[in-house]
Amino acid sequence: MIPLPDHTVRESRRTKHAHLQVSVDAGLEVVIPPGFDRRQIPALLREKAAWIARALREVDQARALAVADSSEFPPERVALRAIGEVWTVECAEADGTIVSVRESGPETLHIAGPVDDPSSWRPALRRWVMRKARRHLVSLLESEAAALGVHVDRVSIRSPRGRWGSYSQSGTVSLNAQLLFLPPELVRYVIVHELCHATHPDHSARFWALVERHVPDVAVLRATLRDGWQLVPAWLRAPADPFGRSS
C-alpha cells in the first residue's frame, strides 16, 4: 500500500466538512470539524493523492523562490504559474533614473537602468506584470464567461491587497494581476466564482451550489486560496499598491 504523505490534522469549528489545505508554512493539513471520524482520513488522503502531489510541488517551488525573493533586488526568476511561464531575469546597470523592462527572448526579461534602486525597478517590473495580466487574465475570463453563458461588460485588472477579484452588478469583473502567480486551478476557481455572482450576487447556498457545479473540489480550492498570497513575490506585494484598489 502506498504510504500516506506527511500531514497534520487540525480541528476547526468553522468547517462543516473535512478538507485538505496546503500552505508554505504548514505544509499539508487535514482540516476536520469537531466529532469527525479520524479513521476516514487515510481514505481522504488516498482519494486526493493526485491533487496533494500537485499542491506540494507548488509549495516546494514557492519555498525555493522565497529563499531568493527580495523586495530590494530584482528577482532572478519570475514564475507566472497561471500561464505556465518562468521568466529568467537579466539585469544591466545603467545611468539615469528610468528602468526599462523588455522581453528580450523566449521567457527572458531584460531590466536596464538603476537596478540597485528598488524605487525604480519595482514599478517597472510591476507594470510588466500588469501588461501580462491584461493580456492573459482577460482572455481566461472571456473563455470562462462564454462557457458559462455570462455576459461581461467590462474587465478591470488591478493589483489590490486582500482581494483576488470582484463582480459588480453593472457587469464589471475586476481581477487581481497577482493571480498570475497562482496555479491554474486556483485562477479558474476565482474567475468562475466571480462570474457566478452574475446569477447570485450573494454567498448563499445557491451561489455555492452553482460554483460547485462548475468547479470540482471547490472546498479544497477555497481553503488553498487563503494562502495564495504566499505565492506572490515580495517585490510585487510591497510597498503600497501603485495600481489602486478594487471596489
- pTM score, two decimals? 0.73
Query: With DSSP H G I counted as helix, E B as strand and the rest as coil, what are the percentages for the chain, rounded to 5?
Result: 45, 20, 35
Distance, CA of 15 to CA of 114 (rounded, Å): 49
Q: pLDDT digits over 14-68, tens only? A: 788 898 888 766 788 899 999 999 999 999 999 888 888 888 887 776 666 554 5
Would you put residue 84 in left (φ > 0), alpha (ψ -120 to 50) or beta? left
| pLDDT score of 113 more than 50 | yes
For the chain, give every residue range classified as CATH 3.30.2010.10: 69-237
Cβ–Cβ under 8 Å, residues 183 and 84: no
C-alpha cell at position 167: 463582480
- Pairing between strand 172-176 and 154-158? parallel
Q: Which CATH superfamily is domain 69-237 in?
A: Metalloproteases ("zincins"), catalytic domain (3.30.2010.10)
Q: How many CB atoms lie within 10 A of CB 158?
A: 20
For residue 41, the surrounding DSSP H or E stretch is helix 41-47
